[in-house]
């Protein structure tokens, strides 16, 4: 088949297009350590919710409010962390209702494991200068 034919398929192009992009960078600005530190902290401080009630929401909210005007990168990660923690709280409340039919306990345990794993993944991605977005997340804050 002729390469100029509209039916010619370039497998290399198709493979490149089907590969997920590691970084979805909405900004072309350089990310500095001053940007990365609050971005990573916004995720890791969510673990404080396992010690203090609602600290998992308050900590990312504080980072968001302090850095939203200074750094697009820190704002993005703080907003993602805040949205994810609010979403997880909603999912936990639903699971709490499902405890009445006994399936909620299993859902709560799964949610705790998912929360821990995704917080760690998000913190690592933020440290690696990637614009990470949590799955299963309702986006309240942008």
Whether residue 35 lies inside any domain: the answer is yes
Of residues 64 and 103, more confidence is placed in 64
Structure token digits, residue 14? 């198709």
Q: Judge whether 134 lies within some domain.
A: no
**Does 46 map to a domain?**
yes
Write the burial class of residue 67 (CB in 10 Å: 0-12 exposed, 13-18 middle, 19+ buried): buried
Task: Give the C-alpha separation, 24 to 92, whole Å.
Answer: 29
What gap in Å lies between CA 106 and CA 136, rounded to an integer? 18
Residues, the chain: 142
Is 64 domain-assigned?
yes
Surface-to-core class of residue 98, CB atoms within 10 Å of its CB (0-12 exposed, 13-18 middle, 19+ buried): middle
Domain range enclosing 119: 26-127
In a domain, 73, yes or no: yes
Instruction: Please tell me the pTM assigned to this model.
Output: 0.77
Q: How confident is the model at residue 74 (pLDDT cuts 50, 70, 90)?
A: very high
Is 124 in contact with 115 (CB distance < 8 Å)? Answer: no
Name which of 40, 57, 39 is nearest 48 in CA terms: 57
Which residue in 80, 72, 78 sits closest to 41, CA to CA? 78
Is 135 domain-assigned?
no
pLDDT reading at 106 higher than 60: yes
Flag the least confident range among 25-29, 75-79, 89-93, 116-120: 25-29
pLDDT of residue 93: 93
Task: Say how many domains are in the chain.
Answer: 1
Is residue 37 included in any domain, yes or no? yes
112: in domain: yes
When pLDDT is averaged across residues 120-134 and rounded to a whole number, the result is: 96
User: Which residues make Cβ contacts (< 8 Å) with residue 96, sequence separation at least 6?
Assistant: 104, 108
């Amino acid at each position: 088949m002729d390469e100029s034919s509209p039916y010619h398929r370039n497998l290399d192009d198709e493979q490149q297009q089907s590969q997920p992009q590691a970084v979805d960078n909405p900004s072309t600005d350089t990310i500095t350590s001053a940007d990365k530190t609050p971005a990573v902290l916004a995720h890791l401080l969510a673990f404080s919710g396992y010690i203090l009630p609602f600290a998992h929401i308050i900590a990312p909210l504080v980072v968001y409010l302090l850095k939203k005007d200074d750094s697009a990168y820190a704002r993005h990660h703080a907003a993602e962390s805040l949205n994810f923690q609010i979403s997880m709280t909603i999912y936990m409340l639903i699971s709490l209702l499902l405890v009445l039919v006994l399936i909620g306990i299993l859902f709560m345990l799964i949610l705790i494991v998912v929360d821990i794993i995704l917080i760690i993944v998000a913190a690592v991605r933020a440290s690696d200068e990637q614009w990470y977005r949590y799955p299963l997340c309702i986006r309240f804050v942008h």
